[in-house]
């Protein structure tokens, strides 16, 4: 059975790139369009192996989603990796302090994203 990855990004193009790479690598992908939608999808798919989340999104941004996920839903233990155009070290530190397991800067090479996902979900 394929492991589920939740991809949260307000950009349809960015979601499509990530989803295509992950589906090609054998993963099941659940898409969300912002942090609020992401929390909803997380609660619907608590068995997800990993979350890939953009930072800059409308409604609830990625860092807010991460903070809310950890504070309001402690049963959601899956690792979260931020996938963003942001390279600001202060944001990286804030994300890590709030439980993010990684930070991938866009644009990225698809094989590098898949390699990171495999490592985090134990498919190495």
Structure tokens at 81: 């990796």
Residue 88: what pLDDT? 86
Could you give all domains of the chain from N- to C-terminal order, each with its CATH number?
A: 4-121 (3.40.50.2300)
φ and ψ at 96, to 5 degrees? -65, -40
| Most distant CA atoms of the chain, gap in Å | 38
Residues 33-69 have pLDDT tens digits of 999 999 999 999 999 999 999 999 999 999 999 999 9
Q: Per-residue pLDDT averaged across 7-29, rounded?
A: 96
Q: Identify any residues that bridge with 52 across adjacent strands, giving them in sequence order.
A: 7, 81
How many CB atoms are located within 10 Å of the residue 103 CB? 18
The C-alpha atoms of residue 54 and residue 17 are separated, in whole angstroms, by 13
Q: Please spell the DSSP secondary structure of 15-33, one letter per residue.
A: HHHHHHHHHHTT-EEEEES
How would residue 87 be classed by pLDDT, with cut points 50, 70 and 90? confident
**Closest Cα to residue 73, out of 33, 41, 101?**
41
Mean pLDDT of the chain: 94
Share of the chain above pLDDT 70, in %: 100
How many CB atoms are located within 10 Å of the residue 101 CB? 16
* Residue 1 clears pLDDT 90, i.e. is over it: no
Residue 71: what pLDDT? 93
Q: Per-residue pLDDT averaged across 3-26, rounded?
A: 96
């Amino acid at each position: 059975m394929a492991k589920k990855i939740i991809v949260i990004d307000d950009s349809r193009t960015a979601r499509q790139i990530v989803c295509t790479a992950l589906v090609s690598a054998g993963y099941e992908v659940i898409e969300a369009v912002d942090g609020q939608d992401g929390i909803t999808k997380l609660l619907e798919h608590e068995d997800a192996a990993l979350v890939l989340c953009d930072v800059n999104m409308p409604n609830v941004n990625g860092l807010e989603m991460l903070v809310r996920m950890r504070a309001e839903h402690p049963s959601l233990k899956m690792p979260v990796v931020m996938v963003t155009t942001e390279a600001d070290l202060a944001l990286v530190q804030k994300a890590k302090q709030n439980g993010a397991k990684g930070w991938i800067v866009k644009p990225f090479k698809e094989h590098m994203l898949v390699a990171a996902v495999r490592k985090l979900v134990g498919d190495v």
